[in-house]
Chain A
Amino acid sequence: MFLAAEEGEKVELVGGFLAEWAWLIPVVPLVAAAAIVFFGKRLPYKGWELAVGALGFVAVYGTALLIGHAMTPMGFEDHVTLVDAGTVPGLGDLVLEWGWTVDGLSIMMYFLVGVVGFFVFTYAKGYMEGDVRFTWFFAAFTLFAGTMLVLVSAPNMIQLIVGWEGVGLSSYLLIGHYWEDMENVWAGNKAFITNKIADIGLFLGVIVFAIGAGSFRFLDVFEAVESGAISSGFAVAGALLIFLGAMGKSGQFPLHVWLPDAMAGPTPVSSLMHAATMVTAGVYLIARMFPVFDAPAVAGDIRWLLITIGVITLFATGLIALVQDDIKKVLAYSTLSQLGYMTAAVGAGAYTAGLFHLFTHAFFKALLFLAAGSVIHAVHSNNMSDMGGLRSAMPHTFRTFVIGSLALAGILPFAGFWSKDEILATLNHDGYTAALVVATAGAFVTAFYMGRAVFLTFFGEYRGQGQPHESPPIMTVPLYGLAAGAVFFGFLNVPGLYTGFTDWVTARVFVPQEYHPESIDFVVGGIGLLVALAGIAAAYVLFFRDAESQAARDRFSIPVLYPILENKYFIDDFYMKGIINPTRLQIAAAVNWSNDRIIDFAVNAAGVATRVAARFVYDILDQLGIDFGINAAGAVTGEAGGALRLTQTGKVQQYAAVVVAGAVLLAAGFIIFA
């Protein structure tokens, strides 16, 4: 009945045994993370086995779900079996609840997080060997995957926020893993704060939709938007706010600044963060709320914004990648660029194309990061100026890195070609010509900087210190695993041949109305491929024949553009010098000053004035006036007593003499007067 549903129609929810137990997917990694914190150090592999076991479980479960879904499409959602977190009153059935979702979209993400995560976790054992905080690293890493799965499995917006911020927290922990170095701490803070700023949007967007729909559940929100229960004004505002949240997590211009700095974390973290968790969350959120973004009342007002932001991001950040020396930063900026493609695609209404690119990108980007990590592990430097000629020393790394690069550059028949082609084809079909031109130009840039990275790293003369060696099998085997994905997963959605992916990711309830290419768009695909090849050729001309990086860089430096790119368009500087530092230093100091000097001064001045008044009352009125009288009376009494007490000699016979004298006097008086 699912497959029979026409586009735009509602479909019924179906589940099954696997779907009913799918709540284990987020719970197992979370439990594993807690277990690693408390027992990890006592285990033979220091907690790594728990981490990789949890991810293995997710990978297996995700694969099982994917297979099950491919055979009988699932659409399942449940809330009750976990915790009923109490009702929010006054808004009908606005309920706080935990739950889980099993539909094409979430299954795709379970599979992605599980499989990519499993490879990355395996690799990380080799990479992190001997690290000071090995156990803690895996605890935080497992938490990272677990919170991402909480986010993905969320059937309501509250749980989404919990997972969302949980991902932010874990990324903060992992980016700042080497927190002895303040640089890394700043990078972690930057990531957290940038995301928190974007979360204002998410929070307020959720509030707008929740109040409008009277529920936090996505399904209710979709229905409310569709039925017009949420007015189009609020729906547009809510969608914009949600998109602001997505911009933060998915590093869209101009909130992209945290992502390159997040390279401060260990390389496996970058790999997972860029592939399956964290940055994909924003795109996932837009996909999850696609019925809202796609609703007729909203789409008209908001599409152009998503496309514009996406296109700016894909091109502007791609250019920055051209000038980076740090190999991880090249990859980081390329991630931003690819996220721009996804945003533009989803914004243009190409739901499947955007998610397909997210899916393939996860494999080759994870691969590229792990391979880069392998290189860094060997040469002990992030900079390509310290590399070169590693082709023969590190054959496995070289082969897989090249596969990843070709996939990212969009060369036939690797995965990136198919997914990027679908985006370009959709932009072409829907008439977003300007976006198509920029995106195609972006493909040239992508191919160029990846070519540059490959040539500078693996060809020419070795420029670094020591003798680099190939990494151990525990690191290279996962590279091949991911490389297989980068090679083959493009065939999951070849127009005209096999379009299984399109059916897989169709979210339950609403089938988006989107364009599916009937067959390969040979014109757009051909141009895309040619442009990518041209990019590689340009890189070859510039960097291969003379791989001495300084000379190549000199030839490459374009006077005005180069400094702008090296300074990342001065956006970071603007944020730091224009917003963060003034807030942190001047404004905060001003507030503190006003607190001390104005409010507290008033309080203290009142206190001091009271004390002065009190002094006056006490010293003048009281002490010199009233109290003087009292004291005078007291003093007179005291003086008199002092004089009189001299008569008290303590000599009994004197007293007796006085008594006798008195008696005699009395007697005399008696005699005389009587």
Chain B
Amino acid sequence: MIVSQFLVLSAALFALGVYGLLVRRNAVLVLLSIELMLSAVTINLVAFGAFHDDPLFTGSVFALFVITVAAAEVGIGIAIVLMIFRARRSANVDELDLMKW
């Protein structure tokens, strides 16, 4: 089994995620991009876990953690975005500079 294939996939996904994070103006899409980046990390973890033949399945366990954290993150993130949208009728990230100095 060759790790590099998984790594390439993961890197590609991560790059896509970074791109979306930096470029997208809609907060929901920004959150989706973050999910993409987390997925890339998860793929890495699972791949390294399988490759190492770890009796404790550390890689898979961490993958599960990441998935849980990602779900929680999305939950809170979407909730904030919804509140902001309600208050300002917009989910545009550029306009969210309330807390600037």
A interface list, Cβ under 8 A from B: 645, 648-653, 656-657, 660
Name A647's closest neighbour in chain B (CB-CB): B101
Whether the pair A650, B100 counts as a contact (CB closer than 8 A) is: yes
A649 to B30 alpha-carbon distance, docked (Å): 18
Pairwise interchain contact A656-B22, C-beta atoms closer than 8 A: yes
Residues of B within 8 Å of A648, CB to CB, are 100-101
User: CA–CA, A554 to B76, complex, Å?
Assistant: 124
Tell me whether B22 and A650 are in contact (CB under 8 A): no
* Complex Cα spacing A325 to B26, Å: 117
List which B24-69 residues lie within 8 A (CB) of chain A: 30
Q: Are B97 and A660 in contact (CB-based, < 8 A)?
A: no
B1 at the interface (CB under 8 A from A): no
Does A650 contact B98, Cβ atoms closer than 8 Å?
Answer: yes
A652 in contact with B96 (CB, 8 Å): yes
Q: Could you say which residues of chain B place their CB within 8 Å of the CB of A656?
A: 21-22
CB-CB nearest in chain A for B24 = A653
CA distance A648 to B98 in the complex (A): 12
A660 with B18: in contact, given A645-B101, A648-B101, A653-B30 (CB under 8 Å)? yes
Tell me the smallest distance from the CB of A203 to a CB of chain B, in Å.
Answer: 83
Q: A653 CB to closest chain B CB, in angstroms?
A: 5
Q: Across the interface, do A653 and B93 meet the contact criterion of CB distance under 8 Å?
A: yes
Bound CA–CA A649/B23 (angstroms): 16
Asked if B87 lies at the interface with its beta carbon under 8 angstroms from chain A, I say: no
A649 and B93: CB pair below 8 A? no
B96 touching A650, Cβ below 8 Å: yes
Task: Name B's A-contacting residues (CB within 8 A).
Answer: 18, 21-23, 30, 93-94, 96-101
Whether B30 and A650, one on each chain, are in contact in the complex, defined by CB atoms closer than 8 angstroms, is no
Chain A residues, CB < 8 A from B23: 653
Q: How far is A657 from B100 in the complex, measured between Cα atoms in Å?
A: 17
- Report the Cα distance A349→B92, complex, angstroms: 124
Contact A657 B22 (CB under 8 A): yes
Contacting residues, chain B, for A650 (C-beta < 8 A) = 96-101
By Cβ-Cβ distance, the 4 closest A-B pairs, closest first, are: A650-B100, A650-B97, A645-B101, A657-B22
Q: Using Cβ atoms and an 8 Å threshold, which residues of chain A touch B94?
A: 651, 653
- Interface contact tally, CB-CB below 8 A: 30
Q: How far is the CA of A640 from the CA of B100 in the complex (A)?
A: 18
Cα(A645)–Cα(B101), bound, Å: 7
Residues of B within 8 A of A660 (CB): 18, 21-22
Interface centre among B93, B96, B98, B101 (most CB of A within 10 A): B101
Closest-CB distance, B34 to chain A (whole angstroms): 10
Closest to A645 in B: B101
Q: Which residues of A contact B18 (CB under 8 A)?
A: 660
B96 vs chain A, min Cβ distance (A): 7
Complex CA–CA separation, A382 to B22 (angstroms): 116
A648 to B96 alpha-carbon distance, docked (Å): 13
B52 nearest CB across to chain A (Å):
22
| Contact status A649-B97, CB under 8 Å | yes
Query: In whole angstroms, what is the CA distance A656 to B101 when docked?
Result: 18
Most chain A beta-carbon contacts within 10 A, residue among B23, B94, B98: B94
CA–CA, A602 to B32, complex, Å? 83
Bound-complex Cα distance A660 to B21 (A): 10
Q: Which residues of B contact A651 (CB under 8 A)?
A: 93-94, 96-97
Q: Which residues of A contact B97 (CB under 8 A)?
A: 649-651
User: Is B100 in contact with A649, judged by CB distance below 8 angstroms?
Assistant: yes
Check if B98 sits within 8 Å of A653, measured CB to CB.
Answer: no
Q: A649-B97, A650-B99, A650-B100 are in contact. List 7 more A-B contacts (CB 8 A).
A: A648-B100, A650-B97, A651-B96, A652-B96, A653-B30, A653-B93, A656-B22
Closest CB in chain B relative to A645 CB, distance in Å: 5
B21 neighbours in A (Cβ, 8 Å): 653, 656, 660
Residues of B within 8 A of A652 (CB): 30, 93, 96
CA distance A110 to B22 in the complex (A): 119
Which residues from chain B contact A645 at a C-beta distance below 8 Å?
101
Closest to B19 in A: A660
A652 to B30, CA, bound (A): 10
What are 16 A-to-B residue pairs whose CB atoms are below 8 Å? A645-B101, A648-B101, A649-B97, A649-B100, A650-B96, A650-B99, A650-B100, A650-B101, A651-B94, A651-B96, A652-B93, A652-B96, A653-B21, A653-B30, A657-B22, A660-B22
A335 to chain B, nearest CB (A): 99
Closest to A644 in B: B101
Q: How far is the CA of A653 from the CA of B23 in the complex (A)?
A: 8
CB-nearest residue of chain A to B33: A656
Q: Hey, which chain A residues are within 8 Å of B96, CB to CB?
A: 650-652
B100: A residues at CB distance < 8 A: 648-650
Nearest B residue to A661, CB-CB: B22
Alpha-carbon separation in the docked complex, A645 to B30 (Å): 25
A-chain residues with CB within 8 Å of residue B30 when the two chains form the complex:
652-653
Closest B residue to A657 by beta carbon equals B22
Q: How far is the CA of A478 from the CA of B21 in the complex (A)?
A: 123
| Bound CA span A650–B93, Å | 10
The chain A residue with its CB closest to the CB of B97 is A650
- Cβ contacts under 8 Å, B98 to chain A: 650
Q: Which residues of A contact B93 (CB under 8 A)?
A: 651-653
Q: Give, as a whole number of angstroms, the nearest-CB distance from A644 to chain B.
A: 10
Complex: A651 Cα to B98 Cα, angstroms: 10
A474 vs B27: C-alpha distance in the bound complex, in angstroms?
114
How many Å from the CB of A257 to the closest CB on chain B?
89
A51 to B67, CA, bound (A): 111
In the complex, A645→B99 CA distance in Å? Answer: 13
Taking CB as reference atom, which chain A residue is nearest B98? Answer: A650
Compute how far the CA of A645 lies from the CA of B100 in the bound complex, rounded to whole angstroms: 9
Minimal beta-carbon separation of B91 from chain A (angstroms): 12
Contact assessment for A653 and B22 in the assembled complex, using a CB-CB cutoff below 8 Å:
yes
Bound-state CA distance A639–B22 (Å) is: 31
Q: What's the Cα separation between A648 and B99 when bound, in Å?
A: 10
Query: Roughly how many angstroms separate A649 CA and B96 CA in the complex, as a whole number?
Result: 10
What residue of chain A has the Cβ atom nearest to residue B95's Cβ? A651
Chain A residue with Cβ nearest B94? A651
Residues of B within 8 A of A657 (CB): 22
A278 to B79, CA, bound (A): 103
Residue of B nearest to A654 (CB): B22
